Amino acid sequence: MGNKKNSNFYSIIKMLLKISVAAAVIFWLYRRNSGGNWQQEIASFSLSLLIPIVFSAVLPQIAASLRWQALAVTIGIALSRLKAFSLTMQALFFSLIIPGGSIGGDIVKMAAVSGNIRKGSRTEGIFSIVMDRIVGMIALFALALILLLYRKDLFSKMQLPGSSGVIAGNIIWLIFCGVCAAGILAGIVIFLHRKISGNRLYRFADSKSGGLLTRLAAATETYSTHRRRIILWVLLSMIFIHLLPALTMLLLLKGIGTDAAISTVATAVVIGNIAGLIPFFPSGIGARDAVTIALLTAGGCLPEKAMTAQLLATFILIIFNMSGAFFFVFDRQNQEVINE
């Protein structure tokens, strides 16, 4: 009992520290980039852009839920589109409060799936979530690598305190390229995986895990035979999940009376989302903002304009993620998650 209380206490402390770090980064960005009257810019924001902004913010989550639903159906989990969207929204909400950064909410999806399908199929249900994350990461890393190669010049123009912009920018560019290349390679290795040979160690581990290794290998093999579907969802994810948020940023910039090149905005938003994967920040807030603002500024945006647009994007993100609590409270149709 005492250990559980200590664990809960340390979890709360860790979450408070993460929130404090994110708040400190946001405050530092404000102090560093607020050269204009950002309150007036927000007050004069064009309300006619609200509908397309909301649409561009919602569509990626609809696409993400459809991707997971399609991957679940592939291995025999009958998951409705509505249920997939509901659990996706709940995951967004819990990503704010569960350790693990932007992927922390996957724990909620795993718990919902494992608790509401037949015991023998829980591994496959959970594995569909893991594979959904892998497909998403491959799409994000591939798109980011394309943009990194196309707009390398942005990193040479980054204004970094206390260092040479060209040298430090090139180092940061190399780090991001390495991370993206490693992520893509890891995903490819997983999809090229074949069923593990039934040696003694494998049989022993499989028997001790109740056949988990066999089911995991079978699930992997199932996805390996649906490469066209996987490739399709990687391409769709690049456009409708990872690239579409750049449209939101373009609309926000337009709403505060400024413009930027599409390639600049796309690079800033996508690379910012890579930085948002760092698990030290709740839902990536703080890290994402710093990188996105730096790249927008390097691309020619005024620092105060870039800061205002990104803070508006973060505000939209928080409100949107918080709306997932509605689905958590009112969604009680757990029997929709079944095994065919």
Give, in order, the Cα–Cα distances in Å from 278 to each of 14, 91, 203, 273, 300.
14, 17, 37, 9, 26
CB atoms within 10 A of CB 14: 12
Rounded to whole angstroms, the Cα distance separating 120 from 172 reads 46
Q: What percent of the chain has a predicted confidence (pLDDT) above 70? A: 66
In whole angstroms, give the CA distance from residue 11 to residue 215: 33
Rounded Cα distance between 236 and 35, Å, is 39
Q: pLDDT digits over 200-253, tens only? A: 666 676 676 666 556 656 666 777 778 888 899 999 999 999 999 999 999 999
Q: Which two tokens stand for residue 61?
A: 């989550």
Q: Where are the domains of the chain?
A: 2-339
Q: What is the pLDDT of residue 112?
A: 73
pLDDT per position as a tens digit, 10-38: 655 655 666 666 566 566 555 555 555 66
3-state secondary structure of 339: strand
Strand partners, 78: 338
Q: What pTM does this model have? A: 0.81
* Residue written as token pair 């709360």: 12
Could you tell me the pLDDT band of residue 174, with boundaries at 50, 70 and 90? very high
Q: What radius of gyration do the chain's Cα atoms show?
A: 21
More confidently predicted of 155 and 97: 155
- One-letter-per-residue 3-state SS of 140-164: HHHHHHHHHHHCCHHHHCCCCCCCC
Instruction: Using the Cα atoms of residue 245, residue 126, residue 84 and residue 322 in order, give the sign of their dihedral.
Output: negative
DSSP state at residue 66? H
* Long-range contacts, 263-266 (Cβ 8 Å, 24+): 263/147, 263/150, 263/151, 264/151, 264/154, 264/295, 264/296, 264/299, 264/300, 264/301, 265/296, 265/299, 266/147
Tokens representing 34 are 């607020």
Q: Are 80 and 259 in contact (CB under 8 A)?
A: no
| Contact residues for 13 (Cβ-Cβ < 8 A; gap 6+) | none
Structure tokens at 91: 């995951």
- Return the pLDDT at 140: 96
CA distance 101 to 283: 5
pLDDT, one tens digit per residue, over 73-85 is 887 787 888 888 9
Q: Buried b vs exposed e over 209-247: b needs ≥16 C-beta within 10 Å?
A: eeeebbbbbebbeebeebeeebeebbebbbebbbbbbbb
Helix (H, G, I), strand (E, B) or coil at 198: coil
Between 114-123, 257-266, 316-325, the lowest mean confidence (pLDDT) is in 114-123
